[in-house]
Chain A
Amino acid sequence: GAGVSQTPSNKVTEKGKYVELRCDPISGHTALYWYRQSLGQGPEFLIYFQGTGAADDSGLPNDRFFAVRPEGSVSTLKIQRTERGDSAMYLCASSRDREGGYTFGSGTRLTVV
Chain B
Amino acid sequence: DAKTTQPTSMDCAEGRAANLPCNHSTISGNEYVYWYRQIHSQGPQYIIHGLKNNETNEMASLIITEDRKSSTLILPHATLRDTAVYYCIVRVATGRQLTFGSGTQLTVLP
Residues of A participating in the B interface, judged by any CB pair closer than 8 Å? 4, 31, 33, 35, 41-45, 48, 50, 55-56, 59, 91, 93, 98-99, 101-107
**Interface of chain B, main secondary structure:** loop
Residues of chain B lying within 8 A (CB to CB) of residue A101: 34, 36, 46-47, 49
- B96, A42: Cβ atoms closer than 8 Å: no
Residues of B participating in the A interface, judged by any CB pair closer than 8 Å? 32, 34, 36, 42-47, 49, 85, 87, 93-103
- B34, A48: Cβ atoms closer than 8 Å: no
In the complex, residue of chain A having the shortest beta-carbon distance to the beta carbon of B101: A42
Residues of chain A lying within 8 A (CB to CB) of residue B46: 101-103
- B96, A55: Cβ atoms closer than 8 Å: yes
In the complex, residue of chain B having the shortest beta-carbon distance to the beta carbon of A31: B96
Partner of B102, one of A41, A56, A105: A41
- B96, A93: Cβ atoms closer than 8 Å: no
Complex: A42 Cα to B38 Cα, angstroms: 9
- B49, A48: Cβ atoms closer than 8 Å: no
If A103-B46, A104-B45, A105-B43 touch, does A56 touch B87 (CB 8 Å cutoff)? no
- A104, B44: Cβ atoms closer than 8 Å: yes
Residues of chain B lying within 8 A (CB to CB) of residue A102: 44, 46, 98
If A101-B34, A101-B49, A102-B98 touch, does A43 touch B44 (CB 8 Å cutoff)? yes
In the complex, residue of chain B having the shortest beta-carbon distance to the beta carbon of A42: B100
- B44, A91: Cβ atoms closer than 8 Å: yes
Residues of chain A lying within 8 A (CB to CB) of residue B49: 101
- A45, B97: Cβ atoms closer than 8 Å: yes
Complex: A41 Cα to B99 Cα, angstroms: 12
- B43, A106: Cβ atoms closer than 8 Å: yes
Complex: A38 Cα to B45 Cα, angstroms: 17
A42, A44, A98, A105 interface centre (most CB from chain B within 10 Å) = A42
Show 15 residue pairs from A and B whose CB-CB distance is below 8 angstroms, ordered by the A residue.
A33-B98, A35-B100, A41-B102, A43-B98, A43-B100, A45-B97, A48-B96, A48-B97, A59-B97, A99-B93, A101-B47, A104-B43, A104-B44, A107-B42, A107-B43
In the assembled complex, the CB of A111 is this many whole angstroms from the nearest CB of chain B, namely 14
